Structure 1
Amino acid sequence: MTSSIRRLPRRRLLGTHCLGIPAVVLALSVTIAGCAGAGAGARAGAGTGAGAVDAARSADVGTHAASGNEVSAESAPTLTPTHTPAQLPGLGTHTLSEIPANARQVVLVTGQGRNSSASQVVLYQRTGTGTGTGWEPGAAWPAHNALKGWTDDHHAGDLRSPIGVFALTDAGGLLADPGTKLPYDQSQGFTIGGTGFEGEPLAGSFDYVIAINYNREPGTSPLDWTRPLGTGKGGGIWLHVDHGGPTHGCVSLEEDHLEQLLRTLDPDRHPVIVMGDAESLER
């Protein structure tokens, strides 16, 4: 049975997940679109998640409904940066230039290494007004990314997370809306089973998800299957509940941390995610 809270328009609701899931062990709802591996690198609109749903649908394991909307991508004209924000640690000139001028919330995901699946997430919120204002950091949370680390040129099934800056506009999950201001789609389509790369159970991984706008259509459910950059570039890159192991391309957080993030993100503050390994983000 599927109930919807602030139900979003859907089309071709079929995808893959960003969980570390061998296809032979997946026990998924056929409609789940998850963090499956898709990928054009950050600078070209990269990003994918672990794709359990696509694994069930095709060989493209690891691509969920994230959109090819890296902030600097041509497909996201509304996110064109006009100035460089100050006081976001660990970010180089190129990365900073991709952050849109109107962004007042930045989810910074810093990977431990190019080939590492371990990372850290910090939410920064812009204080004051004008271009000279600073950023207030929240707590630092441990996270997982893709099994093989990061890439600037993500493709479906490469088991790497895309590097880049992407808008965060839509959320959903198996559980009811926890109180987010983002459009939220509650659906049984977020059901998942099976085990991950380290044998950990995947059940509950999609209790809450936030779609990362890599190769997806903004303003739709995370389950939407639209891939503006084509299926080869992957998609379905999500922030979702951590299952204790690497993903196919998504970023995963402990459930209480993800719930806090959902309650804090505000579309009026134009939230974006900046993600990649530490060395790449310093460019």
Structure 2
Amino acid sequence: MIQRRTAVALLASPLLLTGCGGGAEATERRPASGRPAPTASPAPAAAEQAPRGIPGLGPSRAAEIPGRSRQAVVVTGRGRNSPLCTVVLYERTATGWQGGPVWPAHNALRGWSAHHMSGDLRSPLGVYTLSDAGGFLPDPGSRLPYHHGGGFHSPGTGFQGEPLEGSFDYVIAIDYNRRPGTSPLDWTRPLGPSRGGGVWLHVDHGGPTHGCVSIAKAHMKHLLRTLDPARHPVVVMGYADWLAGRAA
């Protein structure tokens, strides 16, 4: 009688195959007793390294970044009621998010709000697209649509008596309560005027803002020349505990 044996298919993942090492053929060794020597268990394959995330962002905040976005400007506030923050531009690569230099920055005088209202002197928490730019000075080579004009003149003084002149030389509109695809000066407010608007990234004047985020002029020029509509840039903005998911 002929005994039939069922072939067992061995499945190997590409990762395991990649982890295999070459070498001489294994041969069975028998000790003096005549019994086969125990064989060593194969070394476990190296686990695939997870893509690098953005430091300081908890899972819920990271999940709010659209999958198609390849650029993220991360604004990290010092505290819920602080006007001080930092800005880092991240680029999504094959191995995860790669961050650039850390830039000092300012946000609104009274810090942050999950329900920004006109005149509350707080910056809105959230993840927002970046669609349009502009400024009082000519286009420095912006990849975003750039709206140039005298409407970006910024006279007066700030909360600490510092001059505001030049603050709007370069701006990038944050798509909070605005219509993307228009000039940053456009006054369309989809959520209504009571919810504020005109929230921008702009040139730092050395003090807190009304609701915007401000960085040095050189850093604004870098953003304008780097942010690419084809890479669907966003801004992720809030104080550190909120970004990490430790605060509501």
TM-score (norm: length of structure 1): 0.68
Q: Which has the larger radius of gyration?
A: 2
For 1:1-283, list aligned pairs within 5 A. 86-128=52-94, 133-283=95-245
What is the aligned partner in structure 1 of residue 36 from structure 2? none
Residue 86 of structure 1 deviates from its aligned partner by 4.7
> 1:97 deviation in Å?
1.4
State the AA in 1 paired with 2:209.
T
The separation in 1 between residues aligned to 2:166 and 2:135, in whole angstroms, is 9
State the Cα RMSD in Å.
Answer: 1.2
Q: What's the CA shift string for 1:197-238, capped at 9, x where partnerless?
A: 000000000000000000000000000000000001101000
Output the CA distance in 1 between the equivalents of 2:143 and 2:226: 8
How many angstroms apart in 1 are the aligned matches of 2:142 and 2:162?
28
Cα distance, 1:262 vs. partner?
0.7
SS, match of residue 170 in structure 1: strand
Q: Within 2, Cα distance between the matches of 1:184 and 1:266?
A: 12
CA distance in 2, matches of 1:86, 1:209: 30
- Give the TM-score normalised by the residue count of structure 2: 0.78
- Which letter does structure 1 place at the counterpart of 2:88? V
In 2, the alpha carbon distance for the partners of 1:231 and 1:97 equals 29
Q: Which residue of 2 aligns with 1:30?
A: none
Could you say what secondary structure the match of 1:168 adopts?
A: strand
Instruction: Tell me how far apart the structure 2 counterparts of residues 121 and 184 of structure 1 sit (CA, whole Å).
Output: 22
Gap regions ≥5 residues in structure 2: 1-50
Alignment partner of 2:54: what SS? coil
Dislocated runs of 4+, deviation >2 Å:
none
Amino acid of the residue matched to residue 107 of structure 1?
Answer: V
Cα offset, 1:87, TM superposition: 1.0
Shift in Å at residue 92 of structure 1?
Answer: 1.0
Separation in 2 of the partners of 1:231 and 1:95?
27
Q: How many residues matched? A: 196
The structure showing larger relative contact order (alpha-carbon pairs under 8 Å, at least 6 residues apart) is 1
Report the AA paired with residue 138 of structure 1: G
Structure 1 Cα separation of the partners of residues 183 and 62 of structure 2: 28
Which whole-Å CA distance do the structure 2 matches of 1:87 and 1:170 have between them? 26
Distance 1:266 1:187 in 2: 22
2 CA distance for matches of 1:114 and 1:100?
A: 25
Letter in 2 for 1:240: H
